[in-house]
Structure 1
């Protein structure tokens, strides 16, 4: 039976084999149909895994914020015709904080086989390394951009932490990371724990958990770096 494979991508530059299983090699080598966020970066990742892949013989469908819902059934036609299809994330695991979930949902509706492949998730790796509550946590995606709205949302997250001990996880556009940290240090209580996890699995990986008070004056420059923030 043909499968919709959910293929993870690396989080940082380096040897893909250090963070993913050999299954990735076999799937990318044998599959001819791909659903990806960005064709150029997907092709580069495939060549990194196996230089012998004939990229020009592969068919790519892009799924991103510009993709219309009515386009998704066409992406799954090869699967319905008995061909394996692979979904490749831009970074990390497909369907987690990326648009891949939409096509996976449709595959289930069509009763097609979905196969997730083990790979790095910056959200889970950051949670593992944070020392914060891993029994009860929530991923919030992006917080509001406007300062007043963001400040109110941070206060709301602190209330959830106090009420249930639930770890709050969120991300920010890389060029706004420093502004996010400034807002956290300004808005949150001195005793609130903040974990900053940057460049996970990369050469310059940085992960540290301190109270808001302890972070003041000691935050590294996070501009244009991939960062996960956790509050607890």
Structure 2
């Protein structure tokens, strides 16, 4: 009998001074308790996963000592042929937790490849409730939540980025569809400036930063209003902070 692949939610980030009581506010207690009982994990980063388990263990004692818990890494550098090996504990009957660096695994996350392989091998998959920056951003944006699409990162080349923004805006206008994007945190200002410059003045742009954290900020304005704020240096406090960008042709 095979084990179950549990999709374990993580927080969307925290600073050292924000750890106390953070999990209780973000991760359901039943999910914490279930995670504490697992001996095997597949994670983007073993070091940060150990830190997460240490934090979780303050309220739910871990089944094994930290040094006995097996954590295998799965990230963008993991070769496809290594996925079969990550399934071995499951095929041997052990439950395994898949955990992302932030938020829920397998959404804008390399863990999706392991989940697909688990299904191909008849392994039960159980997604557990936790925070998704994409859905939280969509919820708080006021944009269309009936039709939306996530596109990940845009090209870094300025001309290609401008072209892609125009393509997505045309799609948004035609389908009345909200477009979701992310960017490397230190490039947030460049992303906002590109959206404000290349979107039509009436298009709505939302900037959602540090979602679910005490420093959370969500602001939706027209492209024209964002251009005014940029020219007067009234940018959101989003430098080097995880941010979701959303826009809708209006």
Could you state the TM-score of these two structures normalised by the residue count of structure 1? Answer: 0.97
Whether the 8 Å CA contact 1:23–1:117 is kept in 2: the answer is: no
Distance (Å, rounded) in 1 between the aligned partners of 2:34 and 2:43: 15
Instruction: Please state whether the residue corresponding to 2:241 is helix, strand or coil.
Output: coil
Deviation, structure 1 residue 214 = 1.4
Q: Which residue of 2 aligns with 1:165?
A: 176
Distance (Å, rounded) in 2 between the aligned partners of 1:77 and 1:85: 10
2:141 to 118, 130, 137: 130
Whether the 8 Å CA contact 1:178–1:221 is kept in 2: the answer is: no
Runs of 4 or more, structure 1, over 4 Å off, are none
Aligned pairs (5 A) from 1:79-94: 79-94=90-105
Distance (Å, rounded) in 2 between the aligned partners of 1:222 and 1:28: 31
Whether the 8 Å CA contact 1:12–1:202 is kept in 2: the answer is: yes
2:26 maps to 1:19: yes
Q: Which residue of 1 aligns with 2:223?
A: 212
Distance (Å, rounded) in 2 between the aligned partners of 1:98 and 1:44: 20
Instruction: Please state whether the residue corresponding to 1:141 is helix, strand or coil.
Output: coil
Instruction: Please state whether the residue corresponding to 1:133 is helix, strand or coil.
Output: coil
1:70 to 81, 95, 105: 81
Distance (Å, rounded) in 1 between the aligned partners of 2:30 and 2:111: 20
Instruction: Please state whether the residue corresponding to 1:142 is helix, strand or coil.
Output: coil
Deviation string, structure 1 residues 28-69 (Cα, Å, up to 9, x no partner) = 221111100000100001111114432111111100111111
2:233 maps to 1:222: no
Deviation, structure 1 residue 19 = 1.6
Q: Which residue of 1 aligns with 2:57?
A: 50
Aligned pairs (5 A) from 1:99-118: 99-118=110-129
Deviation, structure 1 residue 202 = 1.0
Q: Which residue of 2 aligns with 1:181?
A: 192
2:42 maps to 1:8: no
Structure 1 alignment gaps of length 5 or more? none
Deviation, structure 1 residue 221 = 4.0
2:203 to 192, 207, 226: 192
Deviation, structure 1 residue 186 = 1.3
Could you state the TM-score of these two structures normalised by the residue count of structure 2? Answer: 0.90
Distance (Å, rounded) in 2 between the aligned partners of 1:179 and 1:220: 12
Distance (Å, rounded) in 2 between the aligned partners of 1:220 and 1:136: 26
Q: Which residue of 2 aligns with 1:153?
A: 164
Deviation, structure 1 residue 222 = 2.2
Q: Which residue of 2 aligns with 1:97?
A: 108
2:42 to 2, 14, 35: 35
Distance (Å, rounded) in 2 between the aligned partners of 1:66 and 1:184: 30
Deviation, structure 1 residue 98 = 0.7
